Amino acid sequence: MSMALSTFELIELRTAKQILENPGLVAKLSHLVGSPIESLLKKLPGPLHSTINSAVRKSIDIAFDIALKTLDQDIRHPSSNLRHKIAAGATGAAGGFFGLSALAIELPVSTTIMLRSIADIARSEGEDLRHPDSRLQCLQVLAFGGAPPEDDAAESTYFATRAALAKAISEAAEFVAKKGLVQKGAPVIVRLISLITSRFSIVVSEKVAAQTVPVVGAFGGAAINTLFIDHFQNMARGHFIVRRLERDHGQEEVRKLYEQL
């Protein structure tokens, strides 16, 4: 195994770090709707938070099933980000037209589209989706860019998020490899889904806050969903670039260089 990264690989790693440490979704949403997302989040009514959490949990449950059972395993084609953005934009337009009452329907559809896009990106960076770990890595991308409120600033970084999820990912992958068609009620599966849900719900809350602006409507809903999937496509690209470099040069070497950049 070569331990020295080439000049091009160092450029790739720098690009990945810029993506992963500066997701920028809140700023983009704020610019789109003309209001700070932070202030909009504070105005969300209590019952809406319950609706968001329920929709997120349903979405992650569906995403888990897709990740383990129906993702195409062939490694044959490059990622098609635009096609998935168009599909996500269409669901966002429908959600924007019908309002927040459609969240429980729109979010699982959007999450499914995003997961398939993430899998496309994973394949394009050399991940073998025949293995449970690679599939669960696709699901893990949904946790990037949203640290639970109790976490400190350091816990919002890319490697801190990976560390927080590493044991749960490893145990779930081992369980799936042994059991095949998984029992979703198993403690290792429940723990992983809960960890990803807690982080994904933060990003979803930001998206919902943007959708509460009265002038958003169908067009704004499409734009918000396009930014939403773009965020996770970027997170996926950064994550799977790092993973590819780790496969070629070792995790410790890549992390050391990542932190030095």
Q: What span, in angstroms and rounded, lies between the C-alpha atoms of 58 and 122?
A: 23
Q: What is the DSSP letter of 213?
A: S
Residue reference for tokens 């992983």: 192
* Average pLDDT value for residue range 131-154: 77
C-alpha distances in angstroms, 231 versus 37, 47, 113, 153, 193? 16, 27, 13, 20, 20
Please check the confidence at residue 97 and state whether its pLDDT lies above 50.
no
Torsions phi, psi for 40 (to 5 deg)? -65, -35
* Average pLDDT value for residue range 165-186: 85
Residue reference for tokens 């816990």: 155
Q: How many helices (H) and strands (E) does the chain have?
A: 11, 0
pLDDT of residue 1: 46
Please check the confidence at residue 96 and state whether its pLDDT lies above 50.
no
Please check the confidence at residue 10 and state whether its pLDDT lies above 60.
yes
CB distance 243 to 28 below 8 Å: no
DSSP string, 134-194: HHHHHHHGGGTT---TTS-GGGGSHHHHHHHHHHHHHHHHHHHHHHSS--TTSHHHHHHHH
Cβ of 227: how many Cβ atoms within 10 Å? 21
- Burial pattern 88-97, b for ≥16 Cβ within 10 A else e, equals bbbbbbbbbe
What the block records as the tokens of 107 is 């979010």
Q: What span, in angstroms and rounded, lies between the C-alpha atoms of 210 and 29?
A: 6
Q: Residue 98's pLDDT band (boundaries 50, 70, 90)?
A: very low
Residue reference for tokens 């319950």: 50
* Average pLDDT value for residue range 152-164: 73
| Each residue's pLDDT tens digit, 213-234 | 765 555 567 788 888 888 999 9
* Average pLDDT value for residue range 187-206: 92
Q: What span, in angstroms and rounded, lies between the C-alpha atoms of 135 and 113?
A: 15
Of 153, 71, 54, 170, residue with least CA distance to 119: 71
More confident residue, 120 or 77: 120
C-alpha distances in angstroms, 114 versus 119, 121, 138, 182? 9, 11, 10, 22
Q: What span, in angstroms and rounded, lies between the C-alpha atoms of 249 and 198?
A: 32
What pTM does this model have?
A: 0.85
pLDDT of residue 146: 63
Domain boundaries, given as residue ranges, for the chain: 7-260
What rounded mean pLDDT belongs to the chain? 81
User: Which residues have C-beta within 8 Å of that of residue 155, sequence separation ≥ 6?
Assistant: 147, 148, 161, 164
CB distance 229 to 84 below 8 Å: yes
